[in-house]
Amino acid sequence: MILRQILRLSSLFRSAVSVQLRRNIGLSAIVFNKTKELDPVQKLFLDKIREYNTKSKQAGGPVDAGPEFQKEMNESLARLQRAYGEGDLTKFPEFKFE
């Protein structure tokens, strides 16, 4: 009887320990993955995003957008201004809660 209880407790202990080990191994895999170098495709993707960010800051807006884009954007803003009223539609609205 005591032997059965000991075996049952040991199996519960083993299952709890195995769950914890699986979780820790999964977490450590993520941590080790972040520390090593990115794969070439991810690196290329991030480099292109950073390049576009610097170009858009230099241009002051969208990169390689011609006059057609600016014309369409102005027309859209005018249409929205007529539909929804006044205010600057290029900025996020400010909310004030009392």
Q: How many CB atoms lie within 10 A of CB 11?
A: 10
Q: Of 46, 44, 42, which Cα lies nearest the Cα of 33?
A: 42
Whole-number pLDDT of residue 32: 65
Q: Name the pLDDT band for 91 (thresholds 50, 70, 90).
A: confident
Provide the whole-model pTM: 0.41
Q: Which two tokens stand for residue 85?
A: 């009223």
Q: What confidence tens digit (pLDDT) does each residue in 64-78 have? A: 888 898 899 889 888
Specify the higher pLDDT residue, 2 or 33: 2
C-alpha of 98 from chain center: 32
Q: What confidence tens digit (pLDDT) does each residue in 8-53 have? A: 667 766 776 666 666 666 666 666 666 566 788 988 999 999 999 9
Whole-number pLDDT of residue 24: 66
Q: Are 80 and 89 in contact (CB under 8 A)?
A: yes
